[in-house]
Amino acid sequence: MKSNFRTRDKTIAEQVSSMRCKYPHFSTDFTSQSSMKVIGVLQPTSRSGTYKFVLKYSLANRPETKIVSPVLLKNDKGEEIPHLYSNENLCLYHPLYYEFNRTYLLCDTIIPWASLWLYYYEVWHLTGSWLGGGEHP
Partner 1 sequence: MISIENKAMQIDDLLDKMAEAVQLGDTRYDRMKTSYESVKDWIENDTIYFKPYNYDVYPHGSVRILTTVKPFRKDEFDLDIAIHLKSNTPHTPQRIYSELKRCMEAYAKKHGLKIEAKNRCIRLEYAGDFHMDILPGIQDSAFDQNKMKVPDRELGDWVSSNPRGYSNWFIDKANLVKESLLEKSMRAEKLPTDNFKHKKPLQRAVQLIKRYRDIYFQNDDTYKTSSIILTTIAGQYYQGEDSIFDTVNNIITTIRTHVNQPISRLKILNPVNAAEDFTDKWDDEPEYYEAFKKFASHLYNEWQKLKMQHGVLNEGVILKGLFGNDIFTKAQTSQSMLIEELRKSKSVAAARNTGIISSISSFGAAAVKSNTFFGEYEK
Binding residues vs partner 1 (CB under 8 A): 22-25, 41-49, 80, 82-86, 91-95, 97, 99-100, 104, 108-109, 111-117, 119-120, 122-123, 125-137
Nearer to partner 1, 32 or 111 (CB): 111
Closer residue to partner 1, CB minimum distance, 37 or 100: 100
Contact call for residues 65 and 53 (beta carbons, < 8 A)? yes
Query: CB of 119: closest distance to partner 1 in angstroms?
Result: 6
Which residue, 36 or 106, is less far from partner 1 as judged by CB? Answer: 106
Which DSSP category does 106 fall into? Answer: G
